[in-house]
Amino acid sequence: MSIFSLFKKNKKEEVVLPPFDFSEIGVDMHSHLLPGIDDGSQSMDHTIGMILKFEEMGFQKLITTPHIMQDCYPNSPSIINDKLQLVRSELEQLGIGIHLEASAEYNVEDSLFDKVKSNDLLPFKSGHLLFEYSFFSKPNQTEKLVFDLVVKGYKPIIAHFERYPYYHNQPEILQSYRDRGVLIQLNLLSIIGHYGPEVQKQAFYMIDNHFVDFVATDCHRIEHLELLQRFASHPYFHKLSNLELKNKDL
């Protein structure tokens, strides 16, 4: 027997998994599909192209969440709902059957506390409300925000928790949020390293330790969905089946 044959025999074979079936997620609850109101879709054609790709991937329902950020994207429930109706009309004309709803991704800033106080918010099913922090600086008044939302009957969800570098390697923070009734959302793109290795590492930790309530695409352009399709065999997509995800409850 040659040395080469012996090497081949002892070499550990890599197991290639089949592509993950994204229809298992069912509902994507974080995306930027409404045209021309934030850093997501910039035209109706882009919007329809992304929605068709979602349908191809097996998603049955989309809850799109444009940014509400006072200085950059000062959207309101009326602006979002008007855009939603335009897109729904286009989908109906084209015979595209996927169900589309709209909420928002709220930036945590001073104006958000006023919106909570006046109930000037656009939650989705059962009062779920998605909010995000700055990626660069640790937020202030998080306990007050969570308390105010819960007292008002909302179900707060932190968007893409794995992307906040100041929370990396701090599992006690994840547990603290959970204990206060906050739900945790993870971006599917984090699994494939789209935001860098440290975010990917945090995503793996959250999945392995069941610190994930929702997953989402956070789709801003069709290339995001194409990336997910391209790397759909990643083992951590398959690990999502071990979680008690709440996407299909929406």
DSSP 8-class letter at 140: S
> Parallel, antiparallel, or unpaired for β 128-132 and 105-107?
parallel
Given a contact cutoff of 8 angstroms between Cβ atoms, the answer to whether 107 and 131 are in contact is: yes
Residue 14 domain-assigned (yes or no): no
**What's the domain range around 221?**
22-249
Distances from the Cα of 231 to the Cα of 76, 192, 210, 222, 224, angstroms: 36, 7, 22, 15, 11
**What CA–CA distances, in Å, run from 244 to 30, 49, 248?**
18, 30, 10
The span from the CA of 216 to the CA of 31, in Å, is 8
In the structure encoding, which two tokens stand for residue 209, read together? 């330790």
- Per-residue pLDDT band for 15 (boundaries 50, 70, 90) equals confident
**Looking only at Cα atoms, what is the longest distance across the chain?**
79
Give the number of residues written for the chain: 250
Within-domain flag for 92: yes
Structure tokens at 202: 């945090």
Number of domains in the chain: 1
The whole-angstrom separation of Cα 86 and Cα 19 is: 34
pLDDT digits (tens, 9 = 90+) for 50-63: 999 999 999 999 99
For the chain, the average pLDDT equals 94
At residue 234, the pLDDT reads 98
Residue 209 three-state SS: coil
For residue 190, the surrounding DSSP H or E stretch is helix 188-191
The helix (H) or strand (E) run that includes residue 28 is strand 27-28
pTM listed for this prediction: 0.93
125-151 mean pLDDT = 96
Q: Comparing C-alpha atoms, which of 29, 128, 34, 30 is closest to residue 79?
A: 34
Q: What are phi and psi of 130, to 5 degrees?
A: -95, 130
7 within a domain of the structure (yes/no): no
For residue 12, the model assigns a pLDDT of 55
Q: Is residue 238 part of a domain?
A: yes
Digit-coded pLDDT (tens) for 181-195: 999 999 999 999 999
Asked whether residue 129 is domain-assigned, the answer is: yes
- Residue 4 pLDDT: 38
Sheet strands side by side (includes 105-107) = 67-68, 105-107, 128-132, 155-158, 183-187, 214-216
The structure tokens listed for 37 are 């109101």
Check which CATH number belongs to the domain holding 242 and give it: 3.20.20.140
